[in-house]
Amino acid sequence: MPAEVAGAALIDGKELAERIRADVALESAALAARGVTPGLSVVLVGDDPASAVYVGAKEKASREAGMAGETIRLPVDTTQAQLLAIVERLNADPRVHGILVQMPLPRQIDPDTVIRHIRPDKDVDGFHPVNVGKLLIGHTDGFAPCTPAGVQRMLMEYGVETRGAEVVVIGRSTIVGKPMAALLMQPGAGADATVTVCHSRTRDLAAHTRRADILIVAAGRARMVTADMVKPGAVVIDVGMNRIPDATTKSGTRLVGDVDFDGVRRVASLITPVPGGVGPMTIAMLLHNTVRAAARTLDG
């Protein structure tokens, strides 16, 4: 069993995200004064309730940051051809700097085909193969996916030394795990780490996680990381968002991360809560990417 230390300090993702959004609002106003109001268009197909909540939050945040843009809500039986036609229209519209198609899409639409149709310089989600490739190469003129970019920003803002650090990422998805590893293994500030990526086929997961100076968990498994899996003094970033039953709440459910927060906070030095950790950073980085996309149209 790891020795217990005094208890981890919290990384306040909500406060940090608010600061980033305030900066974005200033940049957005400065761009508007130069004739370019950053525009974010969000496309939602169908009526998935979780997606509707995410899209609503993005819409509100972009409006608060002084951005233009629209949310296009399409019926669940929209065809792939119809969706691609809308993407083409947004690609061609000079007022639109960022395009985001909310996932998941209904079964009749192939998400990869849609992502490949978005102009890479408007792909503020960072999912287009061109942006994925740029991230891996280390070119900084692409867009990194918002969740891992938000995690990296958090580590930098909280002064966590990544250079030479042992980072263990649990999860190898295209939207979190893989880009997270790619960001932190690059040379440079907020990176230069030695990264291990674990997944469901990893033999002896705990043997890896116990080595981690920085443990980043994006598995989608409620409270799977327990205190005995964490090195004393480690920094623990919990990307997971899981709804579990809870009879004491009005909705009957509660949001928890992939980390057993109460246990792990006694061992770690710094930890993100769920909610209020990584979640708010994702939207902040989306706005940040959109302002960058708009600024580039001025800078050429």
Q: Which is nearer to ligand NDP, 86 or 225 (CB)?
A: 225
**What are the two backbone dihedrals, phi and then psi, of residue 173, each rounded to the nearest 5 degrees?**
-75, 165
Answer whether the bond into residue 120 is a cis peptide, omega within 30°: no
**CB–CB of 266/231 below 8 Å?**
no
Site for ligand NDP in 259-298 (CB under 6 A): 278-279, 282
Q: Which two tokens stand for residue 8?
A: 């981890």
| Residue 201 interacts with ligand NDP (CB under 6 A): yes or no | yes
Q: Indicate if 125 belongs to the active site.
A: yes
Residue for token pair 């004739």: 35
DSSP per-residue letters across 235-273: EEEE---EEEE-TTSSSSEEEE-SB-HHHHTTT-SEE--
Least spacing, CB of residue 221 vs ligand NDP, in Å: 5
The site string for ligand NDP over 43-82 (x = CB under 6 A, - otherwise) reads ----------------------------------------
Number of other residues whose CB lies within 10 A of the CB of residue 10: 16
Q: Which is nearer to ligand NDP, 56 or 188 (CB)?
A: 56
Among this protein's residues, is 152 annotated catalytic? no
Q: Are strands 242-245 and 253-256 parallel, antiparallel or unpaired?
A: antiparallel
Cα→Cα distances 145→47, 59, 103, 137, 232, Å:
24, 18, 14, 15, 30
Give me the 138-167 binding string for ligand NDP, x by CB under 6 A, dash otherwise: ---------x--------------------
Alpha-carbon distance of 281 to 264, in angstroms, equals 22
Restricting to residues 18-37, name those near ligand NDP by CB under 6 A.
none
> Per-residue string for binding with ligand NDP, 213-252, x by CB under 6 A?
-----xxxx--x--------------xxxx----------
Using CB under 6 A as the binding rule, whether residue 173 contacts ligand NDP is answered as yes
| Interatomic CA distance for residues 208 and 234, integer angstroms | 13
Q: Which amino acid is at 149?
A: A
Catalytic-role residue among 12, 123, 125, 238: 125
* Shortest distance in whole angstroms from residue 258 CB to ligand NDP: 6
Q: Which of 102, 121, 122, 186 is catalytic?
A: 102
Shortest Cβ 81–ligand NDP spacing (Å)? 27
CB of 177 to ligand NDP, least distance (A): 5
Name the residues that contact ligand NDP, by CB under 6 A.
147, 170-173, 175-177, 198-202, 205, 218-221, 224, 239-242, 278-279, 282
Q: What positions carry a catalytic annotation?
A: 58, 102, 125
